Structure 1
Amino acid sequence: MSDTRNMNITAAIGSAVVAVVLVGMKLWALGETRALSVAASLTDSALDVMTAFAGIAAILYAARPADEDHAFGHSSAEDLAALAQSLFILVSSGIIAWAAVTRMLAGEAMQLENQGRGIVVMVASIVLSLGLVIWQRRVARRTGNRVIMANSLNHLGDVVPAIGAIGSLWASAAFDLPQIDNIVAIGAALLLAMGAVNIFKGAWDALMDRAADPQTIAGIEEIVRGFPGVHGFHDLKTRTAGSMTFVNLHIELDGQQTLDEAHAIGAALRRAILKEFPETDVLIHKDPVGVEPHPDDPSRR
Structure 2
Amino acid sequence: MRIEKKATVISTSVATLLVIMKMTVGIFSGSIAVLASAIDSLLDLTVSLFNYFALHNAEKDPDDNFNYGRSKIEPLAAVIEGTVISLSALFILYEALVKIAHPREMEHIDISIGVMVVSIIITSFLVLFLNRVAKKTGNMVIKADALHYKTDIISNGAVLAALGLVSMSGEQLFDPILGVCIGIYMIYSAMPIIKEGILMLLDAALPEEEIETIKTILQSDKAVTNFHHLRTRESGSHVFISVHLVYNVSISLYDAHLVADKLELKIKEHFKEKKAHVLMHMDPYDDSEINDAEDLY
Q: By the TM > 0.5 criterion, same fold? A: yes
The 10-residue stretch of structure 1 (247-256 or 179-188) with the greater mean CA deviation from structure 2: 247-256
Tell me how far 1:271 sits from its aligned partner.
Answer: 1.2
**In 2, are the aligned partners of 1:112 and 1:169 still within 8 Å (CA)?**
no
User: For 2:70, which of 69, 74, 81 is the aligned residue?
Assistant: 74
Alignment of 1:276-291 (within 5 A): 276-278=270-272, 279=274, 280-291=276-287
- In the alignment of these two chains, the number of paired residues is 295
Partner of 2:220: 226
Tell me how far 1:229 sits from its aligned partner.
Answer: 2.8
CA distance in 2, matches of 1:128, 1:117: 17
CA distance in 2, matches of 1:296, 1:111: 70
Tell me how far 1:275 sits from its aligned partner.
Answer: 1.4
CA distance in 2, matches of 1:23, 1:264: 57
Alignment of 1:146-295 (within 5 A): 146-227=140-221, 229-278=223-272, 279=274, 280-291=276-287, 293-294=289-290
CA distance in 1, matches of 2:21, 2:177: 23
Task: Tell me the TM-score normalised to structure 1 length.
Answer: 0.91
The 10-residue stretch of structure 1 (27-36 or 95-104) with the greater mean CA deviation from structure 2: 27-36
Q: 1:14 to 1:73 in 2, by over 3 A?
A: same
CA distance in 2, matches of 1:42, 1:296: 56
Instruction: Name stretches of at least 5 consecutive residues in structure 2 with no aligned partner.
Output: none
Residue 55 of structure 1 aligns with an amino acid whose one-letter code is N
Q: 1:76 to 1:270 in 2, by over 3 A?
A: same
User: For 2:98, which of 96, 99, 102 is the aligned residue?
Assistant: 102
Q: Does 1:118 align with 2:112?
A: yes
Task: Tell me the TM-score normalised to structure 2 length.
Answer: 0.92
Tell me how far 1:7 sits from its aligned partner.
Answer: 2.2
CA distance in 2, matches of 1:169, 1:7: 37
Q: Calculate percent identity across the aligned residue pairs.
A: 28
SS at the partner of 1:212?
A: coil
Partner of 1:90: 86
Give CA deviations for 1:39-62 in whole Å, capped at 9, x if unaligned.
111111110100101001001101
Residue 209 of structure 2 aligns with an amino acid whose one-letter code is Q
Tell me how far 1:116 sits from its aligned partner.
Answer: 2.3
